[in-house]
Amino acid sequence: MTHAPHFPADFAWGVATSAFQIEGAAYEDGKGPSIWDKFCEDPTNIKDQSDGLIACDHYHRYSEDVEIIASLGLDTYRFSMAWARVQPDGKGAWNEAGFAFYDRLIGALQEKNIAAHLTLYHWDLPQALQEEGGWLSRDTAYHFAEYAREVARRFGHRVASIATHNEPWCTANLGHGNAQFAPGVADAKSAIQVSHHLLLSHGLAMTAMREVGSPAPLGIVLNQWTADPATDTQADRDMAELEYACSVQWFMDPIFKGHYPELALRAHGDKAPIIYPGDLQVIHQKIDFLGVNYYFRAFCSAENPPRSAPAVQGITDMGWEIYPQGLTELLLALHAEYQLPPIYITENGMASADHLEHGKIADEQRIAYVRDHLAALAAAMQQGVDVRGYFLWSLLDNFEWNSGYSKRFGIVHVEYATQQRTLKDSAMWYRDYCQQQRGVQPLLVAR
């Protein structure tokens, strides 16, 4: 990859975070517990037995963090709101002190001319709702819509976009399918029912936010991958087709086509979700943008033991195959199959075992990862996919869910004992890359 691609001049360059992973202040100013607070109370759930009580202390250090974003010359920031901070029980009374935090954060971003992209739900359900059944209960979808309505009413005119969910696939499958994530349920049928309730809640929230006339574009963020057969055997090809149907199409088809993919429904058999009449109409409504999170592809091998991915470009500290061309292939496949709204790459990045040495973190592997994924993104745009922005995951090293603080995804290093932030080499590289992009003539005509 010798020449950097040229992105449109108005392309948004940003970084992404989520509330539970950085905020800390778990019980401050009236915040209620979330399912992740609860999940961390059992130390066997988190690899390093850590929790989100302090995390990056962003709740108190948000202005320093906004300064860092500004100092990198970035014009866009994606963050999530902790539902239990603004509505401790997930229904009923609002917590004004919680809203005041997001008011300060958005204000600080506005002051620096940084567009704020807000996600309503990045996995931290109020624990009070979990005790009433959580996402397995249809009622949660209706409570979520009321939360969305209130946020859109208060902030819809001050943010650049509102996404309902982040990666509902994870909430369903890791939270309810294999218990890796909160709330720690391992039951395939529940996971599938939860995925339907998440989609329903997305649709209900879209309607509620439209009702209050939110001027911010509204959408959803999905984690997606291509599914490649490991070999050319029928078994591997069937496996790949089913994997794509159960992950990407399972969420895309209801939103863009108004039905679940036949192949996946058949495979789910008696685990297929209970769907009420009218649900799919609620889910199937226009969205203003689609957020795509891309980290790796699915490599599908029906052999026992399965073949592992070739990982020609290496693997990350998470053990994920580095496969940039999968981003091009994914976007082209989506573009061919669906009538897409504008896309944002709402997450992309890698964990590496970074070391702070003499005040410096030399994370060349991350630089190469981001550079190659941006080239892959540009290739898709050149072939007609309308992508409006890129958010690197993540601004800061943070609480990486069940891996705790043992995995570092930030372009800014966090020394947790002191909360000292240090720019990694990748942060400086990204700053220069984005700056250079703004200076070059756009060659891409994707719209």
**Most distant CA pair in the chain, distance:** 62
Whether 415 is catalytic: no
String of contacts with ligand FCB for each residue 255-294, x by CB under 6 A: --------------------------------------x-
Nearest CB to ligand FCB, comparing residues 82 and 265:
82
397 touching ligand FCB, by CB under 6 A = no
247 touching ligand FCB, by CB under 6 A = no
String of contacts with ligand FCB for each residue 8-27, x by CB under 6 A: ----------x--x------
Size of the site for ligand FCB (CB under 6 A): 12
Among 62-70, 162-170, 250-258, 413-421, which window interacts with ligand FCB (CB under 6 A)?
A: 162-170
Which of 430, 409, 412, 422 lies closest to 357 in space, CA to CA?
A: 422
* Residues 110, 116 contacting (CB under 8 angstroms): yes
One of 181, 409, 429, 430 touching ligand FCB (CB under 6 A):
409
- Of residues 167, 243, 321, 400, which has the active-site annotation? 167
* Residues 361, 335 contacting (CB under 8 angstroms): no
One of 45, 50, 166, 214 touching ligand FCB (CB under 6 A):
166
Site for ligand FCB in 318-377 (CB under 6 A): 347
Nearest CB to ligand FCB, comparing residues 21 and 140:
21
Site for ligand FCB in 176-235 (CB under 6 A): 223
Task: Give the residue carrying structure tokens 């073949």.
Answer: 307
Q: Decide the pairing of beta strands 115-121 and 161-166.
A: parallel
Within 5-74, residue ranges assigned H as helices are 19-22, 35-40, 58-71
How crowded is the C-beta side of 78, counted as CA atoms within 13 Å?
A: 32
Q: Coil, helix or strand for 359?
A: coil
- Of residues 23, 243, 321, 347, which has the active-site annotation? 347
Among 130-138, 146-154, 163-171, 331-339, which window interacts with ligand FCB (CB under 6 A)?
A: 163-171
Whether 347 is catalytic: yes
Beta bridge partners of 413: 422
* Residues 285, 320 contacting (CB under 8 angstroms): no
423 Cβ neighbours under 8 A, 6+ residues apart: 68, 72, 361, 411, 412, 413
- In whole angstroms, the minimum distance from the beta carbon of 320 to ligand FCB comes to 9
One of 36, 155, 299, 393 touching ligand FCB (CB under 6 A):
393
- In whole angstroms, the minimum distance from the beta carbon of 184 to ligand FCB comes to 17
- Nearest-angstrom CA–CA distance, 285 and 218: 11
Residues counted in the chain: 447
* Residues 164, 201 contacting (CB under 8 angstroms): yes
Catalytic residues: 167, 347
Q: Footprint of ligand FCB on this chain (CB under 6 A)? A: 18, 21, 166-167, 170, 223, 293, 347, 393, 400-401, 409
